[in-house]
Structure 1
């Protein structure tokens, strides 16, 4: 069974409830390898500053250059199939919105319940803006800060915290994938245990949005040219029609090739309906000359 086929039921759950938890999507060893790569970064990263990020929580991004194993999370086929089913109606291509590691220390309080699509202004409700996937590096439990998800909030107008239903605690083991929509209210739980809780959030958004993490600074061309094509495209080295994200009028993927042209030729990258309208307009004016 292909990834799109096996992802269909999970996509239905995600759209119905605002979240789904896919067990055993990757072997635990894959997460252990990533965690080993990130151990020294966790050690050197200071705790965040602010009640939202957490004063007893560590966060850092740029995971694709910090661990060669992180690409396995970003490119996981079932996840990509789910994300494309959810987001493709509103964009030509999806993009990587964030790849961030999070470590919650004992004594951290519960995070403010929020929905991630609020980072972008504009009217919500016509389509989804992003899909997030939380990958536990350590076991997620009710006591150590497992993500709390408020089911159904993607379909409800939440004006105050009193409007929230009872949350679901995303209790699961490394290898499971906790998926939730950008419109779903969620937040990290309080860590009342004696150990740390580690996880990785990989987010995918509509390709025409400004991403949460500045991908071109996280993965400049000298880094991105080591990526497989699909990963480089997700990290921003691709055009989104019409002409969005271009470099000198061309696809930024040209920067990843051997010797980019010093003075490139600006070239249209339009949607088919735009191409047709522009061509008809141009032909009328050429014929009138």
Structure 2
């Protein structure tokens, strides 16, 4: 595989500039974005790497370890998931196409010496309905150890996003980076872990954000049941699935699932409408016509995905 080191413009960026580079190239590197948080997460996850068995299967990698549920395994993970620069970028890219974004995955990855290069893929392909009209997903890789061309740094293909074909001779960019850097790429960007040709392991965590109406890669309600999520800050709990996506999607007994995080939740709940503004307006017009004795309009029905 033909890989080259990241060019100079694959460098430090912040929200608006990062979103621009993502839309232009499909990926971006934000240098030294959260080094103190990454150091804490690396220390908190160390024993979990040691205790986790190797994966089974050529896609996940026979010489690779992976585990999720990082918000319960590392108290400092909240700082990375809720990083304001990353959240702003995710909202800018994904926000126009959903009522709210959600946490798609938190996963730790350790690639051992001898690991083969991962099959190049686009994460967005996990959803059959993704037609590249817009992005479904944004991923952030946080290196916990230095990423080099020899130890399996993630390879990314420039301008491979949005359904663009990749020429067979196209060169991938090796995401050479250090702990504290953030490798940000779109769900439609072609990528894959590089081969680990070194004698050291390469560790990282992946945090993904997706459109709130999609089924997430990691089941959040099993990973973070109410007795766990009730201790999360409100914004984190909403990202982790305790937020109703209008219209009425992901509800519990007809209400926002955040009701499960309350100490005084009543035994019986009544369903409550949760509609988009356009749907609420159409419904109000429909009801008003009936109250006036007129025939209600048929246009603008309340729809459900």
Give the TM-score category using the shorter length. over 0.9
Q: Deviations over 1:152-177 (max 9, x none)?
A: 0014543xx76462100000000000
> What's 1:280 paired with?
285
Name stretches of at least 5 consecutive residues in structure 2 with no aligned partner. 1-12, 295-305
> What's 1:183 paired with?
188
Could you tell me how far 1:125 is from its partner in structure 2?
1.9
> What's 2:33 paired with?
25
Aligned positions of 1:254-265 closer than 5 A? 254-265=259-270
> What's 1:131 paired with?
138
- Counterpart of 1:203 in 2: which secondary structure? strand
Q: Deviations over 1:101-140 (max 9, x none)?
A: 0000000000000000000011412110000000000000
The whole-number CA distance in structure 1 between the counterparts of 2:20 and 2:206 is 21
Give the ranges of 4+ consecutive aligned residues of structure 1 lying more than 3 Å apart after TM superposition. Answer: 155-158, 161-164
Q: Deviations over 1:183-225 (max 9, x none)?
A: 0000000000000000000000001100000000000000000
Pick from 267, 271, 275 the counterpart of residue 270 of structure 1.
275
The whole-number CA distance in structure 1 between the counterparts of 2:167 and 2:280 is 50
* Residue pair 2:26, 2:159 contacting (<8 A) in 1 also: yes
> What's 2:235 paired with?
230
Pick from 38, 54, 59 the counterpart of residue 52 of structure 1.
59
> What's 1:96 paired with?
103
Name stretches of at least 5 consecutive residues in structure 1 with no aligned partner. none
Aligned positions of 1:1-289 closer than 5 A? 6-27=14-35, 29-158=36-165, 163=168, 165-288=170-293
The whole-number CA distance in structure 1 between the counterparts of 2:132 and 2:196 is 33
The whole-number CA distance in structure 1 between the counterparts of 2:163 and 2:254 is 42
The whole-number CA distance in structure 1 between the counterparts of 2:150 and 2:133 is 36
- Counterpart of 1:184 in 2: which secondary structure? coil
The whole-number CA distance in structure 2 between the counterparts of 1:125 and 1:164 is 23
- Counterpart of 2:179 in 1: which secondary structure? coil
- Counterpart of 2:134 in 1: which secondary structure? coil
Which structure has more helix as a fraction of its residues? 1
The whole-number CA distance in structure 1 between the counterparts of 2:266 and 2:23 is 44
* Residue pair 1:105, 1:195 contacting (<8 A) in 2 also: yes
The whole-number CA distance in structure 1 between the counterparts of 2:153 and 2:282 is 51
Q: Deviations over 1:33-57 (max 9, x none)?
A: 1111111111111100000000000
- Counterpart of 1:154 in 2: which secondary structure? coil
- Counterpart of 1:81 in 2: which secondary structure? helix
RMSD across aligned C-alpha pairs, in angstroms?
A: 1.4
The whole-number CA distance in structure 2 between the counterparts of 1:17 and 1:147 is 15
* Residue pair 1:150, 1:164 contacting (<8 A) in 2 also: no
Q: 1:127 to 1:156 in 2, by over 3 A?
A: closer
